[in-house]
Amino acid sequence: MKRKLAAGNWKMNGTTASLAEVKSLVSGHAAPSVDILICPPATLIAQAAGICSKSPIMIGAQDCHAAPSGAHTGDLSAPMLADAGAGAVILGHSERRENHNETSDMVAQKAMAAHAAGLIAVVCLGESLAQREGAHTLDVIAEQLAGSLPDGATGANTVLAYEPIWAIGSGLTPTLAQIGEVHDFIRSLLGERFGAQAAQDFRLLYGGSVKPGNAAEIFATSNVDGALVGGASLKSSDFSPIIRALEA
Ligand code: PEP
């Protein structure tokens, strides 16, 4: 039985003072019935992982390089992140696709690097508002999914996050029917590629303006196995009720 997953993406937010939020999550969720992942900035991974060393909460990163080492100033490799205590890495977030020109092929290369280092790859997919309004959402999702997932992806080493770009940080969310349509579509595409049985093992997260107030209805939607949460993961007082909604 796959466990649901509540994942937090702190983005470029947080200093050592923010580790108090990790401590609060550790004490508030000693034996969660869902998996919990917090992805702070890379500067905090080692300390956050230390805080979580006796907790089921996993610490993750927000990106990695496709190579294990080398002349890539400013980059971090998957083995380095694993060495710092990360157990997962977010890949292909729309902010990286947009701000760093990351293509689906680059995301697939990074996912292979993550898998080789023993990290779970949290691969993000999502359409822009123009693509949604132009009725291209499913085409975009199909292209991103096909291009971003390496052949070695399994439900154990890979999580998918559907994050409509226009819903991220905007306070806007798709209708539950729209979320369900895309999640059902992703599950069917996984089935075509990996087989129906294996497709069921992948966790499909929804991301985009998930808050304590809308989490429960999103989690009740077809093929939603959890959430990737940005802004509302920064404070344990916001993230905890989202985790509890997933546990309900
Ligand atoms: C995100 O960027 O992954 C995200 C889902 O952000 P927010 O929850 O703030 O919309």
pLDDT digits (tens, 9 = 90+) for 69-107: 999 999 999 999 999 999 999 999 999 999 999 999 999
Q: Taking residues 227-233, what's their average pLDDT?
A: 97
Token pair for 183: 């999640």
Query: Is any atom of ligand 1 closer than 6 Å to the C-beta of 208?
Result: yes
- Active-site residue, 183 included: no
Percent of the chain with pLDDT over 70: 100
pLDDT (tens digit, 9 = 90+) per residue, 123-144? Answer: 999 999 999 999 999 999 999 9
CA contacts within 13 A on the Cβ side of 248? 13
Query: Is any atom of ligand 1 closer than 6 Å to the C-beta of 209?
Result: yes
Residue among 38, 94, 173, 210 to mutate when testing ligand 1 (max atoms within 8 A of CB): 210
- What pLDDT does residue 145 have? 98
Residue among 11, 229, 239 to mutate when testing ligand 1 (max atoms within 8 A of CB): 229
Q: Whose CA is nearest to atom 2 of ligand 1?
A: 230
Q: If you ran DSSP here, which 8-state letter would residue 223 be given?
A: T
Ligand 1 atom with the shortest distance to the CA of 167: 10
Distance CA 233, CA 48 (A): 14
Q: Whose CA is nearest to atom 3 of ligand 1?
A: 230
Q: If you ran DSSP here, which 8-state letter would residue 53 be given?
A: T
Distance CA 245, CA 210 (A): 11
The catalytically annotated residue of 21, 95, 163, 181 is 163
Confidence of residue 3 (pLDDT cuts 50, 70, 90): very high
Flag whether the pTM goes above 0.95: yes
Residue among 12, 159, 163, 205 to mutate when testing ligand 1 (max atoms within 8 A of CB): 163
Strands (E), 106-212: 120-125, 158-162, 203-207
The catalytically annotated residue of 65, 93, 115, 183 is 93
Calculate the average pLDDT of the chain. 97
Confidence of residue 205 (pLDDT cuts 50, 70, 90): very high
Residue 108 has pLDDT above 90, yes or no: yes
Percent of the chain with pLDDT over 90: 98
Closest of 124, 112, 202 to residue 151, by C-alpha: 112
- What pLDDT does residue 172 have? 87
Place of tokens 């309004």: 133
Q: Whose CA is nearest to atom 1 of ligand 1?
A: 230
**Distance (Å) from CA 248 to ligand 1 centroid:** 22
- What pLDDT does residue 238 have? 98
Ligand 1 atom with the shortest distance to the CA of 168: 10
Q: Could you say which architecture CATH assigns to the domain 5-247?
A: Alpha-Beta Barrel (3.20)
